[in-house]
Structure 1
Amino acid sequence: MSISSGLSANEVPALVVSSQDDPNVLERAAAEDYSLHIVPLSWRSSRLSVSMAWFGLMSAMFWVVVGSTVTLAVGTIDTLIGIALSAVSYGAINSVVSRYAAKTGTSVSLFSRALFGRAGSAFAAALFGVTITYYVVAEGAIVASALHAYLPALPIALCALIVVVYQAPLAMRGVSTWLDKINGVLLPLYLIGLVGSVVWAIVRYGYSNDWLTYEPEGAADLGVPGWWFAYTVYMGVWVVTMMAWDFARFGRPEDAKFNGRVTFGTPFYVMTLLVNAVVGIFLAHTIEIEGALSEESAILGIVSLMGFWGLLWVVVSQTRVNSGNFYLASTNVQNFFARAFNLTLPRVFWLGVVAVVVYVMMLTNVLTWILQALSYQGVIIVSWVAIALTHILVASRGIFPHVPPAEFRPGRVPSINPAGVFAWGASSLVGIMMVAFRGASGAVWAPPVSCVLAAGLYGIALRYSKPSWFTLDRPFDPRDEVADPWESRVQCHRCGDSYIAYEMDRDPSAGHQAICLACASNAPSFLRAAELEAAAHRPV
């Protein structure tokens, strides 16, 4: 007998169960891509589809620009050593998170509920959305800069507008319905351009090892080896882990090992980080352009060397990566406003909002403040990654039995999880203070310090945590009422649509009828009733 409701299990309303996907849900999923829901197994994609969608990140000119920029500070050899170590780290981390994302079908926003509670997860969605929007700006600015270099008569503001107008609509559909296909078609063109630019430069200017032995004149004393500086700069781009998570959730569980080792593993980052950097550094130091080396040298050099074909390569490369960036930015902005303000609007609407913000930001000279921006946003992202990995390790191995793997349903997680909020807030604050007040040395050490501190604080907090920090103990779980919570679809009493039982709950404010994840997240009456039911159900 339930203490909270006075109902026995056979007195609650029967679930309306089906074994097939709801046609209305499938129609919306073509654009929404289950952005506010768990990805069902029927919507999962093949290895090839997931890899084609994810490999769009590989062609980002951002990696070319960052590699060239770091070289200006520490020289080529130290830069390449730092990037190689980063590729190994990226592969190890994202192999773990990609498998977990495929296992749970959760997004970064949903998984963050297990770490920080409902309120804390809204901030995670905002952080991810804002950060990815910044990358949309950076990648778009590269195309605008290349277009302006090729057609100087076009004002840079018009170039930026052209870029946003053609790129944003490419993200109107989802990962498995469009992004995998467009990136698959453009992948050969990107690879041809990558190899062709190097060959073209050698034919035009000849080959010299000067790019490989480059050392900056009057380099600042960073107080650490140059390779460590390079490594910590790339720690500032650990937002890639969040990106990998939101793509990996579309992978099939049986492909998780392959995707973890290959698609999201070290081989991908060797190509993405190291090869792109090598090409960027070589081109920046080989192609003759006016003025000193700068953050844009490689891009301007490509257009100067290859003319229209160079511009085309830049456009193809950035189209691949920014279609995915626009998708991730719009999805997480949608999640934030849905969770924080109960404002549930189609993802396409938020895509338009992101496009407007991106255009305004592109009117700034974004390429000149890349490293500074990475320093600040990096410490917060690094802290999230450290906490996520710690939670996965502890929950998967049962180190602390009271820590659940990933409860994300809003009626079964508390508003705030003190363990995660404290660890994330404290480690991020320390890192930000180091960047702001400790100069170059602080910026170098902030990411690793934040990472270690976040993992340590969260691990200690887990040791002394209470089960109520992670879950609201309530009766009548739809997962326990069906044969297979991943295959059975249950109808929601609020929206009338059917979703997998794995994400469903019962609504104590409406006679314990079934309610889906999105409706539960945006129903204050449900959340209040769920908390009261959990309090009444708590053992005396």
Structure 2
Amino acid sequence: MADTELQEQEAAEPIGKWSLSMAWWSLFSAMFWLYLSAASAAAYGPKTTVVGLILTIVSYGAVNAVLATYSLRTGNTVKSVSQLLFGRAGAVIASLLLAVTALYYGVFEGSVIAHTLQIQFGGDVKIWYAVCVAYAVPLAFGGVRDWLDRLNGFLLPFYVVGLVALVVFATVKQGYPTGWLSAAGPASPIPGWLGSYAIFMGVWVMMMFTMDFASMGRPADAGFHRRATFGPLFYACTFGVNGLIGIYIVTAFGKGGTEGGVVEAVLGSLGLVGVVLIVISQTRINTANYYLASSNFENVVRSVFGIDLPRIVWVVICGVAAFSLMLTDVLSYLLTAMAWQAVLIVAWVSVVLVRILLRRDWRSDAPTGDEPTLRPLAAAWFIASAVGVTLHQQTEFPGLSAAAPVVTFAVGAGLGWLLVSMDRSPAAGGTASREPLTTA
């Protein structure tokens, strides 16, 4: 969240539960979720991918319920909780990590729209890149507090209807793909369900997204948001429904688990209606991507250089950056960059989660601005990140490389638990939260 919003948070009215829920559910409608499950099925088999999906839904729901409750009751964002736990430099690193990740997702989702329009209508894909950025950027000008909730609430039914039509027409055109969930996957150095789960850990940036969104909600709505907005229901739909549909349609059309395979399957099923479905789905999620990227880039530049620009300027800057990245061979390095970022984010989540669970009295969890450059907990974050990146990059033990996010979480949680347990001093920061409760 931008510093200007942080400074005005005490005066600003928190967002109502349905408005916040609709803004958050924009993240439900991404072709990326269909692609991710299809890619997992191609790598480990559909049967083990289903097990990975179940574990993902349960763990995402549980972790985000805790993080959402914490942010709803304290008002802490990724930046403020990082400043509290890791120090001022930690806050800058976390904000930069979130900003770059959100921008990369914006590039990915925008590229999906551009390639879809090129397949359907022809023309230079660079022109379609420009079109996608030009119409998406203004949608993020207002931010969550203004009208993104209404935009995404309006578009949500269209996406749901589109998903139903996608399954129906794929079946009508291609027939029912017998054995689409029972096919065996290729040989793997680790159990398929674990490899699949590790793939879904690659998008733990959702945990960071949760905190920035939840910080704008009302503490009184914590129960609703814990269950419906940020909890298991959302992930059952986002990963479960989208994931199964992704596996189904690429199997029906004989496509591989690639971005192009998903797009081709959607267009092969629905034609022009498929174009509309993809544009709606990617538009919904890109409003959140541009919002989070611009807000957190603003945080970083203001904290490091003291430059204060209107939020609209940062949205435009993110749009220009996204278009520039689209002009490169983005997929050749995007997946590697995202894998590194995923490890850093998993390490961050592990330490933050342990700290929140061990220090259940959150009344002092408000940064004062006089925190040191780095706190001891930053060591747990950095060490776990280094372990994860090393495991991911090494090639001698493929199993450890595939399981790098899981190992990263274990190392970060273990080191975090050790450091928090050793530190018996009061929690750093101010003396009051928005709601001084001691339970999650």
Cα shift at 1:107: 1.4
Cα shift at 1:343: 1.5
2:24 corresponds to which of 54, 70, 87 = 54
Please give the residue correspondences for 1:319-468 in structure 2 after superposition, counting only pairs within 5 Å: 319-367=283-331, 372-396=336-360, 405-411=364-370, 413-417=371-375, 419-438=376-395, 440-465=398-423, 467=425
1:302 corresponds to which of 258, 266, 281 = 266
| CA distance 1:318–1:124, change in 2 (3 Å) | same
Cα shift at 1:422: 0.7
Cα shift at 1:128: 0.7
User: d(CA) in 2 for partners of 1:353 and 1:263?
Assistant: 30
* AA matched with 1:409: T
User: d(CA) in 2 for partners of 1:344 and 1:383?
Assistant: 30
* AA matched with 1:258: F
Give the conservation status (yes or no) of the 8 Å contact 1:61–1:139.
yes
Is 1:92 equivalent to 2:49 in the alignment? no
- Tell me the secondary structure at the aligned position of residue 214 of structure 1: coil
User: d(CA) in 1 for partners of 2:341 and 2:364?
Assistant: 27
* AA matched with 1:182: L
User: d(CA) in 2 for partners of 1:468 and 1:269?
Assistant: 35
- Tell me the secondary structure at the aligned position of residue 372 of structure 2: coil
| CA distance 1:48–1:293, change in 2 (3 Å) | closer
Please give the residue correspondences for 1:57-456 in structure 2 after superposition, counting only pairs within 5 Å: 57-152=27-122, 154-216=123-185, 219=186, 221-287=187-253, 294-367=258-331, 372-396=336-360, 405-411=364-370, 413-417=371-375, 419-438=376-395, 440-456=398-414
* AA matched with 2:119: A
Cα shift at 1:335: 0.5
| CA distance 1:387–1:38, change in 2 (3 Å) | farther
Cα shift at 1:287: 2.7
2:14 corresponds to which of 44, 53, 71 = 44
* AA matched with 1:156: V
Cα shift at 1:377: 1.4
Cα shift at 1:383: 0.7
Give the conservation status (yes or no) of the 8 Å contact 1:36–1:335.
no
Query: When the two structures are aligned, how many residues end up with a matched partner?
Result: 435
* AA matched with 2:84: A
Cα shift at 1:150: 0.6
User: d(CA) in 1 for partners of 2:421 and 2:254?
Assistant: 59
Cα shift at 1:318: 0.6
String of CA shifts for 1:252-297, please: whole Å, max 9, x gaps: 11110110111100111010011101111111111367xx663321
Cα shift at 1:442: 2.8
| CA distance 1:81–1:295, change in 2 (3 Å) | same
User: d(CA) in 2 for partners of 1:366 and 1:434?
Assistant: 24
* AA matched with 1:130: V
Cα shift at 1:378: 1.2
Give the conservation status (yes or no) of the 8 Å contact 2:73–2:434.
no
Match of 1:13 in 2: none
Cα shift at 1:445: 2.1
Give the conservation status (yes or no) of the 8 Å contact 1:102–1:251.
yes
* AA matched with 2:160: L
* AA matched with 2:73: K
Cα shift at 1:349: 1.2
String of CA shifts for 1:216-254, please: whole Å, max 9, x gaps: 5xx3x4321111101011111110000011111121111
| CA distance 1:364–1:69, change in 2 (3 Å) | farther
TM-score where L is the length of structure 2: 0.93
User: d(CA) in 2 for partners of 1:345 and 1:421?
Assistant: 29
Give the conservation status (yes or no) of the 8 Å contact 1:141–1:366.
no
Cα shift at 1:40: 3.1
* AA matched with 2:48: D
Give the conservation status (yes or no) of the 8 Å contact 2:347–2:385.
yes
User: d(CA) in 2 for partners of 1:226 and 1:136?
Assistant: 29
* AA matched with 1:426: I
TM-score where L is the length of structure 1: 0.76
Highest CA radius of gyration, 1 or 2? 1
* Structure 1 runs not aligned, ≥5 long: 1-30, 399-403, 480-484, 488-501, 503-540
Give the conservation status (yes or no) of the 8 Å contact 2:74–2:366.
no
String of CA shifts for 1:500-530, please: whole Å, max 9, x gaps: xx9xxxxxxxxxxxxxxxxxxxxxxxxxxxx
* AA matched with 2:110: G
| CA distance 1:344–1:199, change in 2 (3 Å) | same
User: d(CA) in 2 for partners of 1:208 and 1:340?
Assistant: 55
* AA matched with 1:65: Y
String of CA shifts for 1:156-205, please: whole Å, max 9, x gaps: 11111111111111100121311100000101110110101111111222
Cα shift at 1:98: 0.5
Match of 1:523 in 2: none
Give the conservation status (yes or no) of the 8 Å contact 2:116–2:263.
yes
Point out the more displaced range, 193-202 or 450-459.
Answer: 450-459
Highest relative contact order (Cα 8 Å, sep 6+), 1 or 2?
Answer: 2
* Structure 2 runs not aligned, ≥5 long: none
Give the conservation status (yes or no) of the 8 Å contact 2:294–2:318.
yes
